[in-house]
Amino acid sequence: MGTTVCGAQSISQVTTPDNVKRKVSLVNGTINTSSAKTSIDYNAVANAISALIPDPTTKDGYGPLFVRLARHSCATYSKTDNSGGSNGAFTPRQRLGQIKQDFPLISYADLYVLCGVVAISQMGGPKVPFRPGRVDIDPNNLIIVQQANRFPLPEDSKETMHAKFRLMGFGKKEMVTLLDAYCLGRCYTDRSGFDGPWVDHPTKFTNEYFKELIENGWKPAVVPETGKRQFEAFPKGEKLMMLPTDMHLVDDSTTREFVELYANNEQKIFDDFTHAFGRLLEFGVPGIDRNAIPYTF
């Protein structure tokens, strides 16, 4: 089990990996307990994450992947029964292993979320607030939220997409806002079956996703390797793509108005994304003190 941490400049109780309950306080950015080995320096963790983002062996580095990791670990939340969300993220086995070894007291769930926060900031995006307090669960216990099929899928109908965001507690505007994360990274045929980036500069957080949606003439296409249906355009000679769910945003007048709003006002998407993504990261996490002063990186 991971360590539950609540509060900034406050006192609460945690269970450390040796199953001993200890008092914990958060002062000046460091979590301190009665034992020196139960201290987490989140600024140091953030610096370690930042160092992992550039990677010449990965097409766009790890920044977009870290954002997706954080988003996907949170987007299983249901406001109906308060299940899912980033509380209880399962243990990863790849890129973050060394950080977990260096900072063994941070939960994987907090580490996932912190990766997304740091990556967005490092790629020129807003400083999304971060508060710790998530705990880990056994991967086998994820079956409940996995069976519920809560995460929005690229081929969902418009109605299904809206319903899944409503289940998380988001309206149409916040749904559009959160999809700006697609300005980062790309799809790979060996992962999702889709192929290509959404924007020309997939390692920089901008409002380009919304501009591309309304400015290009998107044509239906089929990915040869997988048979997946997507939409493609070649505005500057290089292929860009959109998923079927992306096109719902411009085909529906009730969401297109927000696409146009953000396409014409980058500061507005920065402000709204900070709020909406910050909410997403804290869904289903009872161990977080919402009154605590959050970290920003």
CA-CA distance, 97 to 33, in Å (whole number)? 24
- The yes-or-no answer on residue 218 being catalytic is no
Catalytic entry in 72, 201, 218, 248? 72
Contacts of 197 (CB under 8 A, 6+ apart): 60, 185, 186, 187, 240, 241
CA distances from 240 to 47, 67, 219, 230 (A): 32, 20, 11, 10
Selection from 128, 139, 133, 46 nearest residue 89 by Cα: 139
Query: What are the residue ranges of helices labelled H in 148-231?
Result: 158-168, 172-178, 208-215
CA-CA distance, 76 to 18, in Å (whole number)? 30
Q: 3-state class of 204 per DSSP?
A: coil
Contacts of 247 (CB under 8 A, 6+ apart): 218, 231
CA-CA distance, 76 to 183, in Å (whole number)? 21
Which segments within the chain are labelled E, that is strand? 11-15, 21-27, 30-33, 40-41, 186-187, 196-197, 219-222, 229-233, 240-242
Catalytic entry in 198, 218, 248, 275? 198
Q: Helix count (H) and strand count (E) of the chain? A: 11, 9
CA-CA distance, 185 to 72, in Å (whole number)? 14
- The yes-or-no answer on residue 72 being catalytic is yes
Q: What residues act catalytically?
A: 72, 198
